[in-house]
Amino acid sequence: MPKSLSDELMTAHEKDRAQLSRRKFLGYAGAATGLMAALAACSKEQIQSTSQAGSVTADGVDLGSGDVGILNYAYALEQLEAAFYTMVVMNPYTGITPFELSALTDIRDHEIAHREYFKNALTSLNAAIGTLEFDFSKITFSSRESVLATSEAFEDLGVSAYNGAGRLITGAAYLLQAGKIVSVEARHAAFIRDLRGKNRFADDTIINADGLDLTRKPSEVLPIAATYIKTKIDASHLPTY
């Protein structure tokens, strides 16, 4: 049965109302309260928005919309990083030093922690995308330069992705969580950059004349990441600016 206009308006209204109450709650809940408390106060329907986050269609796996979409976007990138470093640690490059292996193992663990954090947070919202498939055929894991160049690219990409996505987040608690992660990605990026050459940690190729780091929109990040992601991703419902 086709919906009447008043039904449509009602639905739209309820969505707005849900979004507003959710944001209001998250906005004032603050850092200490956090995501789980927010979940307790908001029904899944309220957090979930229009598109079916995690569903798979001909367009690919749907990241979803609103804050959930951004969380899934971050989850996808963390899956990529974690899978990469898992490979790196399992197949150490020729001539790797104990110090380098130890640092790369640390980074692997951080990325797994990020990935699993998003997985659990999104699963509790019933909105998690599944496990993505990756294609690392362009990387020579036995080569220090190939591995570290890829690592640098991933970390800089991650920093720019979080920097660019921050403004799309409407819940303050989500923004804080993204902030807690992005600075660790920046630490990784700086470290890996300096492993490849002295004083590259924040050079002029990434930091502009105002002293600002890279920022990229999801629409700029995903095509770059797609080189390494086999699974088709549908980001069409993500918020934009």
Which residues ranging from 80 to 139 are in contact with other proteins (CB under 8 A)?
A: 103, 106, 109-110, 112-114, 116-117, 119-121
Residue 66: CB minimum distance to other proteins, A? 10
Stretch that binds other proteins, among 88-96, 125-133, 139-147, 212-220 (CB under 8 A): 212-220
Stretch that binds other proteins, among 133-141, 142-150, 201-209, 230-238 (CB under 8 A): 201-209
Q: Which of 163, 233, 234, 238 binds other proteins (CB under 8 A)?
A: 163
Residue 197: CB minimum distance to other proteins, A? 11
Residue 179: CB minimum distance to other proteins, A? 4
Please count the other Cβ atoms lying within 10 Å of the Cβ belonging to residue 175: 19
Residue 151 or 177: which CB sits closer to other proteins?
177
Residue 11 or 142: which CB sits closer to other proteins?
11
Site for other proteins in 168-197 (CB under 8 A): 169-173, 175-177, 179-191, 194
124, 185 Cβ separation under 8 angstroms: no
Please count the other Cβ atoms lying within 10 Å of the Cβ belonging to residue 36: 11
Site for other proteins in 10-49 (CB under 8 A): 10-13, 15-17, 19-21, 23-24, 27, 30-31, 34-39
237 near other proteins, judged by CB under 8 A: no
Rounded distance between C-alpha atoms, residue 201 and residue 198, angstroms: 8
Residue 142 or 219: which CB sits closer to other proteins?
219
Which residues, including other chains, have CB under 8 Å from residue 32's CB and lie 6 or more apart?
none
Residue 63 or 168: which CB sits closer to other proteins?
168
Residue 58: CB minimum distance to other proteins, A? 24
Count of residues that bind other proteins according to CB under 8 A:
80
C-alpha separations of 172 from 5, 193, 215, 223 in Å: 34, 31, 20, 28
Stretch that binds other proteins, among 6-14, 145-153, 219-227, 230-238 (CB under 8 A): 6-14
Residue 137: CB minimum distance to other proteins, A? 25
